[in-house]
Amino acid sequence: AAATTTTTETATDTSEDQTVNDHHHHHHHRDQDQEDASSMVGELSCSEQSSSYREDLISLSSSSLSSESMPELRQRKNLQRLYNIVNEICTSEEKFVATLKLLNESFRQHILANVNQTSGGEQGVTSSSTLTTTATNNIQQQLQPPFDCIGLILKHLPQLQALNESLLDELRQARNQWPSTQKISHVLVKIGPFLKHYSSYIRDFECIQQQFQDNLKKSAQFRDVIKRFERDHSDRCGQLSIQHHLLKPIQRIPQYRLLLQQYLHHLKPDDADYEDTVSALEVVSRVAEHANHSLSEGANFAKLLALQAKIVGGKQRRDLIQPGRLLIREGELLKVCRKQIQPRWFVLLSDSLLYLKQIQSNDILYLKYELPLDDCQVELPAAEEAGSGVVESSSAAGDQDNTGQQQRQQQEEEGRELELNICTTVRSMTLIAKSRQERDDWFEALRSAIENHVAKRRSFRSGAAATANSTDATQQQQQQQQQKQQQILVRTRP
């Protein structure tokens, strides 16, 4: 009986423990849901405190969220993320405008005050009236070498500063109204056509970038003026060089695109700002692509300019800077001459091939020929027939002669693998590269440049012929109308 009682009590205790465990397990899941909701509320509440006015604009207090369901909490959290991006657009614009003021006002005044010199050679201070005039006129006329490169950049800054100050005012207004309207992208859609000013800035900055670096190394006066500005404005420069700040306008367009992409990621197609965000992203992306194109054009212009500075002599020497001309490739190749092989420098342009000779430690190039690509042909040497020139012999002497001949043949074949034949109406030559890969790269670059140039010329001629035919047809129609009018006049005479 005692054993039975003990067994019964044990079963009862086990059943009660299982009931208690189930009860705690149920409460655990309910507590876990409450913790998830509380954590989300807490996260939202923390994000509210990141801005002094955000709590008033978007009410996400714990008391208002505690009674809401998880989908509603997620929706509010998404709104908070959207607003954080809106706030980031505005705050980053504020910093960018401050950088533009630093460059356009403080840096401009510093350059003009320390660079302009009087007729006696002493530095003169520019008056405020002259500074104001220079801000709108061509500042390049106010600066002398080596500071003229800075003028190419400073001339764009007044327009950029005015544009972004206006943009900042509208962004702030849209941010203040966002909790009720949930719209901000229309501001960038409106300002989009004026973002083309960035392309001009980027193109000119790329042109003077190398010159700026060279002036810092070679000109003590240039270096002293730049370093003095960075030291005197260290609080505003943030321990960054002036070149770093000059890069800010180039970086701003990609920043717009990145922020808009993040903003669009959290929008739904039926949201109020969805269509404007898509349109703004398209506008900014087009400007970014155009800026990249301007950047490549600026880099190409700088390369041509540096190349032209190194070229001397030659009856055919002319300005390398031509509309639409691109520098495709340059490098040293060996030219096969009558007596020996000599190193020569070749520059492949989009419309011609420059054949130059290096002199004075390769710092100066002498132009020997400019070979047009109109009638240029590039070929690889034809492979020799396998087994040609091989003489079989069973004698020892014959075997030695055969081995030597095979070695010479192998060396010749290896040398021919590096050759490149170029034929033009001006000059024909055989060139040797340093490796098979370099030879193949030159061959592909030449072949592609010739095809593109010929196709462009053919298209131009077709367009010119079509224009001429259209002009002839128009003139014929006019002549026929004049003849008809004369016939009518003759018939109507009394």
Please state, as a whole number, how many other Cβ atoms lie within 10 Å of the Cβ of residue 151. Answer: 22
Q: Which CATH class is domain 74-114+139-302?
A: mainly alpha
pLDDT at site 313: 67
CA 94 – CA 90 distance, rounded (Å): 6
Q: Which two tokens stand for residue 272?
A: 């109020």
Q: Domain 313-381+415-482's class?
A: mainly beta
More confident: 469 or 385: 469
Predicted local distance difference test score (pLDDT) of residue 488: 58
Q: How far is CA 326 from CA 320, 323, 350, in A?
A: 10, 9, 5
pLDDT in tens, 43-71: 433 344 344 444 444 544 444 445 567 88
Q: pLDDT-derived band of residue 193, with 50, 70 and 90 as boundaries?
A: confident
User: In this model, does residue 433 exceed pLDDT 80?
Assistant: yes
Where in the chain are the domains?
74-114+139-302, 313-381+415-482
First-to-last C-alpha distance (Å) of the chain: 152
Report whether pLDDT(209) > 80.
Answer: no
Strand pairing category for 327-336 and 428-432:
antiparallel
- Residue 346 has φ and ψ, to the nearest 5°, of -120, 140
pLDDT, one tens digit per residue, over 438-449 is 999 999 999 999
More confident residue, 300 or 355: 355
Cβ–Cβ < 8 Å for 188, 283: yes
The string of pLDDT tens digits covering residues 266-295 is 999 999 999 999 999 999 998 888 777 766
The pLDDT score that the predictor gives to residue 138 is: 56
Q: Which amino acid is at 215?
A: N
pLDDT at site 410: 60
Q: Which pair of tokens denotes residue 482? A: 């004049």
The residue written with tokens 């010199």 in the block is 117
What mean pLDDT value characterizes the chain?
Answer: 75
- The dihedrals phi and psi of 341, each to the nearest 5 degrees, come to -100, 130
Residue in this structure with the two tokens 């100050």, named with its chain if needed:
165
Lookup result for tokens 């973002």: 195
Confidence of residue 384 (pLDDT cuts 50, 70, 90): very low
Is the overall model pTM greater than 0.75, yes or no? no
Q: Is the pLDDT of residue 42 over 50?
A: no
pLDDT of residue 270: 94
Confidence of residue 339 (pLDDT cuts 50, 70, 90): confident
**pLDDT (0 to 100) of residue 480:** 72
Asked if residue 83 lies in contact with residue 58, where contact means CB atoms within 8 angstroms, the answer is yes
